Each structure stands twice: as C-alpha cells, then as structure tokens.
Amino acid sequence: MEINPDELFSKFYENASTRKKKTLELIHNACKKQAESDIKDFSIGTIARLIADDGGPSEQALRNKNAEDYRVLIRQWAEYYKTTTKKPKKEKKTTINDDILASISEPTTKALVGMLMAENKKLKRENSLLKEQTTFTIDMRPINNLSKNKDVVIVEPSYKLTDTEIDALRNTISNEFMNHQGWTTDNYGRVKENGIQIYKAGYVTAIQKILNEI
C-alpha cells in the first residue's frame, strides 16, 4: 500500500530531535510546494535550494549518510506523485518552423522547405542589418582582402538553423537517402535518376556549404 508522505513525515517527526524536526518541516513544506507546481521537481538539489534561505542543510549535507531519513521523505513525495528524485529534463522548445517540418513526411519536400526557411532567416538578418545602417558597403570579398574602412560591413553567414532543419538538410544529401531514391550525384552537385536530371548543378554542393558553415 502506498504511504502518504504526510504519514511518513509524522512518523519521522514523532521521535526526532528539535533540530531534526525543524529540518523535516522545511523539507516537507518544500516538497509540498513542489507537489503543487506544474513541474514536480523533487531532486535533492532543488529541495536544498528551496530550504537554503531558512537555514536548511545544503545539497551535500542531504546526501550524507546521516541524512537518510530526509532523502527517504523526499523520495516518498516523488513516488507518491509518480516521479523520481532526478532532475526533470527541460522540454525542448520548438519553433513554428519545427512544427511545419515535423508535419512533412516526404524527405525531399522537407529538405527543400528547410532550405527555404534557412534562406528566409538569412535574408531577414541581412535586411535588419541594412535598416540599422545609413551609409555602408556590403563587400563580398574574402575577409582577408577587405578594407579597414569603418563604412564596410561584413555580412557573414548566420543561418541559425534548428536541429530539425539541420537533420532535414543532412538527410536529403545522405548516401542512404540517395540510394533509397535510386539517385546518383556528380562532382557538380547534380542529382540524377537513371541518367535523367532531377536537380540542377549546385544542389548537393549548396547544401554541403550550408552544413559546413553551421
């Protein structure tokens, strides 16, 4: 039968010393607050942080051998709420672009949409840069050849792709995907199927350049 944390607390509290009673109360109240929160974090580190301002023991102290009752109480709270004393993993935030890509099942279409999204981000950044400057020159020469003129603005690639977008691009030129589609590539970046051109020269090399710059 599952024990309610309040019952376990009362059991420990009954015969505890004055000092231990205070610590039990701090831990019990901290766990109660965590139980009422959306993210039920009963990790030792979090509980120690919550009781630190009230003179509660540190995380290291709670991990010591003589703090077993405290850990048992925390663990009981966690088990009662169907979780553990491990730090909950933060949910990875997804963007609208991630959701759009996730809804596309066809690999080639997903890769192409990912490329368009990446290019859109790049253009937005360059457009923002243009708005911020009054008089400047965008010089596309290699950085080593640029003038030291303060009016020269260096625009470097900054795709800021999400993991989903990067995976989509990498997948579309992978050997596994090409073999599955029955496609071949050449040194010019063309993609062909039985000798018939599917994508023009530069398709594969353009994606490789994007991936190399990330």
Compute the half-sphere exposure of residue 132: CA atoms within 13 Å on the CB side of its CA.
8
| Contacts by residues 125-134 (CB-CB < 8 Å, ≥ 24 positions apart) | 125/158, 126/155, 129/153, 129/155
**Per-residue model confidence (pLDDT) at position 77:** 95
Q: Residue 9's pLDDT is what?
A: 95
* Contact between residue 82 and residue 145 where contact means Cβ atoms under 8 Å apart: no
What pLDDT score was predicted for residue 122?
81
Distance separating alpha carbons of residues 77 and 68, to the nearest angstrom: 14
Position 90 scores a pLDDT of 67
Quick one: pLDDT at residue 13?
Answer: 95
Q: What is the pTM of this model?
A: 0.44
Query: Could you tell me whether strands 191-193 and 196-199 are parallel, antiparallel, or unpaired per DSSP bridges?
Result: antiparallel
For residue 117, give every residue at least 6 positions away whose Cβ sits within 8 Å of its Cβ, in sequence order, or none. 97, 100, 101, 165
pLDDT at site 137: 53
User: Which H or E element spans position 191?
Assistant: strand 191-193
Q: In the prediction, which pLDDT does 39 show? A: 85
- Token reading at 91: 């949910």
Residue pLDDT tens, the chain, 214 long: 468 999 999 999 998 999 999 999 999 999 999 999 888 999 999 999 999 999 999 999 999 999 999 999 999 999 999 999 998 876 666 677 777 877 887 777 778 777 888 877 887 787 777 666 555 455 555 555 554 554 444 445 555 678 888 888 888 888 888 888 889 999 888 998 888 888 888 888 988 888 887 6
